[in-house]
Structure 1
Amino acid sequence: MREVDICILGAGPGGATAALHLANAGHRTLLLDRATFPRDKICGDALSGKVINELRRIDEQLPARLAASPIQVASWGINFYAPNGQQLAVPFKPHFDKSTDRAAGHIAKRLDFDNFLIEEVRLRPEIELLEGVEITQHERTAEGRWLLRTADGNVVASARLLLVANGAQSAFARQIGGHKLEPDHHCAGLRAYYRNVQGLNADNFIELHFIKDFLPGYLWVFPLPNGEANVGVGMLTKAVSEKKINLRERLHEILETHPALRERFASAERLGPVRGFGLPLGSKRRTLSGDGYLLLGDAASLIDPFTGEGISHAMVSGRHAADWAAQAVACNDLTVRYLQKYDAAVYRRLWQELRLSRAMQRLLAYPWLFNFVANRAANNPTLAETLSNMFMDLDLRERLRQPSFYLKLLFGRK
């Protein structure tokens, strides 16, 4: 049995980020994961500019190493397809020049990206990584330590503080953290890999299709290395239940029949099965800490309610968890009262963005408004550039809440 101050459950982006930041500060940690890396995880596979910023905070050289790796393709923007079929191209950086600019985003399979981070973890002597270890019991002793047991009752470790980053299905988050599945704050999704999808963007713009008879859900197509694509659908679990939608059937039907997609997928080959997943959304504030523990990433229900992005938020929470874990151990205060400072730090960074994304998610109930914005932006370069900046600058995204933005939408000129 290992006795440690800090143990991290889950070696995905949130847990790996926390371990790497703690290592940078000279702290030793135990990092446990039930999988053996490289391992797959169901995801959209997009890495936003926020992910790149968090990599840079770990090590200035990490973004360049990722950009030079064959596991990824650089992505320069998003193509939105409104319910009326109008396409709206939103580059991550207006007037970008691929020959001189750094890409603001990338796309890489989680199999590869998570292993990219784990390879960094393996280089750090401060981190002990144990793979293939599934913790099923979390027992708190009278002395305030956590005993971590496997299904056979074997105690793997004893820790003073747990950083729980073991994903959307975290038993700890449900049973001890009190995070319940709430259909209005949870997304159901499916993902499959394809080869030979026609018409992918030359600059690897990711595609988001808002199809009229599939709202409030959406379909995505994300280009990948080696001519592959990540294709999937997502919809609020509440809507799936109320509308009695079979997402697997609808995905197949849309790719077979939708005018904008059927020709593009006519010769496409699906690689492997269609796989489902659930996403606990960050559309409401939840408690992220308790006596002797912090919740990170998907286990903390921090997924963006509009885009479904979870990687960057996991990494943000991992950075703050490392900071507050180190401080809590140093001052020997692992009480919920002290650790709530972690909650405040995470929501200070993410809550405004999560709140705005929740508002944008609700706009999907009004396809006419979505159509209107897309039509106006397609004919108004100034407005299109404003929308582009919203994906890189949170202060600009705040304009969506201001009446003056809609006046510009109505009366803007080329």
Structure 2
Amino acid sequence: MTDICILGAGPGGATAALHLANAGHPCLLLDKATFPRDKVCGDALSGKVISELRRIGEKLPARLAAEPMQLPSWGIDFYAPNGRRLAVPFKPRYNPTLDQSAGHISKRVHFDNFLIEEVRRRPEIDLRENTEVARHEQLPDGRWRLLAADGQEITTCRLLLVANGAQSHFARVVGGHELEPAHHCAGLRAYYRGVQGLHPDNFIELHFIREFLPGYLWVFPLPNGEANVGVGMLTEAVSRKKVKLRERLEEMLHTHPALKDRFATAERLGPVRGFGLPLGSRRRPLSGPGYLLLGDAGSLIDPFSGEGISHAMVSGRHAADWAARALAAQDFSPAFLKGYDAAVYNRLWQELRLSRAMQRLLNYPWVFNFVANRAANNPTLAETISNMFLDLDLRERLRQPSFYLKLLLGK
């Protein structure tokens, strides 16, 4: 019997455990894998990830920056449907020799293990790897009972924090998060070595190829001359257009004018792996009797970028806060735990809503072309777009007609 059990030791679960440890609350952290372990992902760590690391421990961002398994990233290269490249630094007029980078790129096998190494340092956290929960049941007194495949009891707990990813059986069956094709993204990822023309300051690349819209292709540089390369598209669009993602990825890398020469001598490392992303493009319940849903299990992935690590960490922080409140009040009721839903959406909903609006713009390639053409010749506009990735108020401009009027008039 334990008060708090966390199911899943990825960024959301590890973050929750570390915040609970900081507050002096012991917890049990379970994961079916043994770390280090791989996770299919785009591998980009946004500025929000760095902010959340700092909330866990002031020295963690510097510790991450010193790791050889990561690269500092200074911006994004957008490739519009008309082929124009729009370089958007995370920080205008940055100096890579003096400034601290706003983002990083690291394989999940390394970043997740970076967090787990921090978990291992905390005596308040009982980490149990290679422990798969096959079944869960709620007892008459409200406690959750977790069982292994052989029927043996793993533990019972007063509060269950569910952070076991996009395929979470608990989130689907108990939390009601069924797969909704209009709010779900299908993706593929492969690792390559020897991709030519990567940005010297490790800008991540997003290619909006006309024939592939409303999907997009990414190229993210990695240490040791490698790159994470993949595609993503709404599951609804994949079904409607009958898109074969693996074939299209291969085709674009070897025939598209912006990519074919760069991949001509590149070597793929290992298989192409698929994954599904439950998007945060509509509000879903994040809690219920004695449980909280975190990160991908809570369908909190950014609808436009597909980024989920920072949102998992944000939800982990708030889950730790509300777990402590529930313990203090001895109240694990759905009514009390709805405070967790409110806290998470108060932090993330505006950004999720804006990202949903930007996602819908993928249906209008002329908008992308227009903005890219204008920004390439308008330093003020380019800087405004750059700030959108750090300042949410600026991203709101994309929803205002006056913003496009100023674009049209060249102001």
Give the TM-score normalised by structure 1. Answer: 0.99
Aligned equivalents of 1:325, 1:305: Cα separation in 2: 28
1:142 aligned to 136, 140, 149, which one?
140
Aligned to 1:177: 175
Q: Is the 8 A contact 1:328 1:334 kept in 2?
A: yes
**Which stretch of structure 1 is more off in the superposition, 139-148 or 162-171?**
139-148
Aligned to 2:120: 122
Secondary structure of the residue aligned to 1:395 is: helix
Q: Is the 8 A contact 1:219 1:231 kept in 2?
A: yes
Secondary structure of the residue aligned to 1:51 is: helix
Aligned to 2:52: 54
2:200 aligned to 199, 202, 220, which one?
202
> 1:149-164, aligned counterparts within 5 Å?
149-164=147-162
Secondary structure of the residue aligned to 1:409 is: helix
Secondary structure of the residue aligned to 1:69 is: coil
Secondary structure of the residue aligned to 2:179 is: coil
Q: 1:328 offset after TM fit, Å?
A: 0.3
1:269 aligned to 242, 267, 270, which one?
267
Counterpart amino acid of 2:75?
Answer: G
Aligned equivalents of 2:141, 2:325: Cα separation in 1: 20
Secondary structure of the residue aligned to 2:122 is: coil
Aligned to 2:17: 19
Secondary structure of the residue aligned to 1:93 is: coil
2:252 aligned to 244, 251, 254, which one?
254
Aligned to 1:285: 283
Identity fraction in percent: 78
Secondary structure of the residue aligned to 1:57 is: helix
Aligned equivalents of 2:26, 2:116: Cα separation in 1: 16
Give the TM-score normalised by structure 2. Answer: 1.00
Counterpart amino acid of 2:100?
Answer: R
> 1:212-251, aligned counterparts within 5 Å?
212-251=210-249
Aligned equivalents of 1:134, 1:412: Cα separation in 2: 58
Counterpart amino acid of 1:239?
Answer: A
Counterpart amino acid of 1:146?
Answer: W
Q: 1:412 offset after TM fit, Å?
A: 2.5
Aligned equivalents of 2:407, 2:298: Cα separation in 1: 36
1:33 aligned to 23, 31, 34, which one?
31
Secondary structure of the residue aligned to 2:305 is: coil
Aligned equivalents of 1:293, 1:120: Cα separation in 2: 25
Secondary structure of the residue aligned to 1:271 is: strand
Counterpart amino acid of 2:31?
Answer: D
Counterpart amino acid of 1:177?
Answer: G
Q: Is the 8 A contact 1:383 1:412 kept in 2?
A: no
Aligned equivalents of 1:407, 1:100: Cα separation in 2: 37
Q: Does 1:8 align with 2:6?
A: yes
Q: Which runs of 4+ in 1 moved over 3 A?
A: none
Aligned to 1:401: 399
Secondary structure of the residue aligned to 1:340 is: helix
2:348 aligned to 343, 347, 350, which one?
350
After superposition, give the CA deviation of every residue in 1:378-413 in whole Å (9 maximum; x if it has no partner): 110000000000010001101111122112211235
